[in-house]
């Protein structure tokens, strides 16, 4: 058997290289000719300033600051030498792919890099944060090695004894299954409320094909005892089953189809059965989806509807064809992020029965210490075909048991934030929690 070339043998080994950046502050005087210690103030002055651009539900900032002590953490990108943008998207196994974009600023301008960290769906919180911190350490090394801090950095390579790289096998063939059950309750002298949810799922994701199967049941119960009156009791439920198959065409195009079953007392839906194809085009390559995407999607569907009550149009059941066009924009850059989508949907038998929905969200770092965010959603509603053809009782309205007739839905938020003072946020003090 022909022996592999040296460079071929190194390739799988390089994939296992684990770089550990360890800072050992040396405040005692050096002995036996070791380098003279550097005062902590001087260490701070030469350490790179890092702005970690990451959602708090993704990054444990206190843990990161505790484990990575060889950089200064600053509160805004204008004070930073390095900005790290952390984004994530779900993998086929149910875990997550975290993209860490290291962007050099000031004297590090142009020194950019991108690393990826993959978490498993079975990872504990501690396993996840350890893995993420290790990836952060690896990415920060190039910004430290040309400073006096470099003498405190050591790189380790961990390899199992007698390791021999072998092709990975997957006995599940990329299939991932899930089962969930949860409930809650609240009980008082004159009232009781409880609910439960059950869901199952089966997913399979490869580079070429994505399959999703989901089924769920949601039940809600409320009871209110009113003195000298009959108790008010409300029960509502929602059930849904959906399956979708998406296939890749190339780096920009994909197509697929969806079939679904839906039942809801709130929506007057005894049983909705829908099926239809869809096609999507991303202006940017799908490979850049964690940082930017501009997707255009068109869907065509046929649905068979059966209602609990006769609708305002006198229907107990009907067959409907509909179409939808959606445009989605997502951009995450060093200056902030923008997200927006517009979707128009209409029934083919009557184009006046339509729905137009627009959503947007903007977060911008305007200047040092000052940030601005605004977001909202607006829907122009002209497609409420399933509304019951009768008047609602006060109980049904107050307990939100039925969908109300409306021509629009609007919600929005706006925020301004200004921070000043020390640019550093290195210190971690866990006493009394977040008080």
The 10s digit of each residue's pLDDT in 346-383 is 999 999 999 999 999 998 877 777 888 899 999 999 99
Q: Confidence class of residue 427 from pLDDT cuts 50, 70 and 90?
A: low
Q: Confidence class of residue 327 from pLDDT cuts 50, 70 and 90?
A: very high
Distance CA 213, CA 43 (A): 54
pTM of the model: 0.68
Which pLDDT score is estimated for 84? 93
- What whole-number percentage of the chain has pLDDT above 90? 46
Question: CA-CA-CA-CA torsion for 244, 245, 250, 253, nearest 10 degrees?
Answer: -40
Q: Confidence class of residue 19 from pLDDT cuts 50, 70 and 90?
A: very low
Distance CA 332, CA 372 (A): 15
Pairing assessment for the beta strands 49-53 and 72-73 based on DSSP bridges: parallel
**DSSP 3-state helix, strand, coil percentages of the chain (rounded to 5)?**
15, 50, 40
Quick one: how many helices (H) and strands (E) in the chain? Answer: 5, 17
What is the enclosing helix (H) or strand (E) of 3? none
CA distances from 54 to 106, 150, 170, 334, 402 (A): 21, 26, 33, 11, 39
Distance CA 223, CA 233 (A): 4
Which pLDDT score is estimated for 423? 63
Mean pLDDT throughout 184-192? 94
Can you read off the two tokens belonging to residue 150?
């470099």
Q: Do 94 and 176 form a contact (C-beta atoms < 8 A)? A: yes
What is the enclosing helix (H) or strand (E) of 67? helix 61-67
38 vs 281, residue with greater confidence: 281
Pairing assessment for the beta strands 49-53 and 82-90 based on DSSP bridges: parallel
Q: Point out the least confidently predicted range of 99-103, 343-347, 363-367.
A: 363-367
Kindly write down the DSSP assignment for every residue of 267-306, as one continuous string.
Answer: TTEEEEEEEEEEEEEESS-GGGTTTEEEEEEEEEEEEEEE
Residue 396 has pLDDT above 60, yes or no: yes
Q: Do 92 and 206 form a contact (C-beta atoms < 8 A)? A: yes
- In our burial notation (b when 16+ CB lie closer than 10 A, e otherwise), range 70-105 reads bbbbbbbbebbbbbbbbbbeebbbbbbebbbbbbbb
Mean pLDDT throughout 58-64? 86
Nearest to 71 by CA among 152, 164, 8, 2: 152
At 95, is the secondary structure helix, strand, or coil?
A: coil
Q: What would the pLDDT profile of 279-298 be if each residue is shown by its tens digit?
A: 999 999 888 887 889 999 99
Which pLDDT score is estimated for 159? 58
């Amino acid at each position: 058997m022909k022996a592999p070339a040296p460079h071929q043998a190194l390739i799988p080994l390089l994939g296992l290289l684990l770089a550990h950046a360890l800072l050992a502050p040396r405040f005692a005087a050096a002995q036996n000719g070791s380098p003279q210690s550097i005062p902590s103030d001087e260490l701070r002055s030469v350490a790179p300033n890092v702005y970690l651009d990451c959602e708090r539900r993704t990054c444990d900032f206190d843990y990161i600051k505790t484990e990575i002590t060889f950089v200064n953490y600053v509160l805004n990108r204008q004070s930073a030498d390095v900005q790290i943008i952390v984004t994530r998207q779900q993998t086929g196994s149910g875990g997550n792919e975290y993209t860490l974009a290291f962007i050099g600023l000031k004297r590090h301008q142009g020194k950019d890099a991108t690393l990826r960290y993959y978490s498993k769906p079975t990872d504990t919180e501690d396993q996840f944060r350890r893995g993420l911190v290790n990836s952060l350490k690896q990415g920060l090394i190039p910004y430290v090695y040309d400073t006096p801090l470099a003498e405190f950095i050591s790189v380790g390579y961990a390899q199992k004894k007698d390791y021999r790289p072998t092709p990975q096998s997957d006995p599940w063939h990329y299939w991932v299954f899930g089962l969930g059950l949860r409930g809650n309750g609240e009980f008082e002298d004159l009232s009781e409320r409880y609910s439960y949810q059950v869901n199952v799922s089966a997913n399979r994701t490869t580079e070429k094909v994505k399959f999703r199967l989901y089924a769920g049941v949601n039940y809600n119960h409320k009871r209110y005892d009113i003195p000298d009156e009959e108790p008010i009791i409300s029960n509502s439920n929602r059930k849904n089953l959906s399956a979708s198959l998406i296939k890749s065409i190339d780096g920009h195009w994909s197509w697929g189809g969806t079939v679904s079953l839906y039942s809801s007392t709130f929506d007057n839906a005894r049983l909705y059965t829908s099926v239809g194809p869809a096609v999507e085009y991303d202006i940017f390559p799908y490979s850049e989806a964690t940082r930017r995407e501009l997707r255009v999607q068109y869907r065509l569907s046929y649905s068979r509807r059966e209602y609990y009550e006769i609708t305002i149009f006198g229907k107990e059941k009907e067959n409907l064809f509909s179409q939808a066009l959606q445009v989605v924009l997502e951009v995450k850059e060093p200056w902030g992020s923008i997200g927006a989508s517009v979707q128009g949907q209409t029934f083919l038998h009557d184009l006046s029965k339509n729905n137009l929905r627009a959503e947007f969200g903007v977060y911008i770092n305007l200047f040092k210490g000052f940030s601005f965010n605004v977001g909202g959603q607006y829907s122009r509603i002209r497609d409420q075909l399933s509304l019951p053809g009768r008047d609602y009782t006060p109980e049904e309205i107050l307990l939100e048991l039925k969908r109300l007739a409306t021509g629009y839905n609007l919600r929005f938020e706006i925020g301004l934030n200004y921070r000043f003072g020390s640019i550093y946020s290195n210190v971690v003090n866990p006493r009394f929690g977040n008080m």
